[in-house]
Amino acid sequence: MEITKDTKVSAILEEYGDIADVMEVFGVQRVGRYSFRGMITKVLTVERAARIHRVPLDEFMETLNQAVARQEEINNGDGESGD
């Protein structure tokens, strides 16, 4: 998944739930499955989340992309450890 400024926060959390810790550093709180905040993340973009939490967009996206890359490495590594 490529994260852009237009990526919905909910899509990131659904795909990479484990990076919620990274997002919390920027003030984006964890959301419950049926909470009001959970509904908001469905329309909230990365760009808007960065603006709301007063984090530079480039810094926010860089950190998210690094977290996603680490998560993908972990996921890919788990599938190959069956020897």
Neighbours of 17 (CB within 10 A): 11
Domain extent listing, the chain: 9-78
State the pTM of this model.
0.65
Does 59 score more than 70 pLDDT? Answer: yes
Interval 6-42: pLDDT, tens: 998 888 878 876 566 666 666 666 655 555 555 666 7
Please provide the DSSP assignment of the chain as one string. ----TT-BHHHHHHH-GGGHHHHHHTT-----TTSHHHHHHTT-BHHHHHHHTT--HHHHHHHHHHHHHHHHHHHHHHHT---
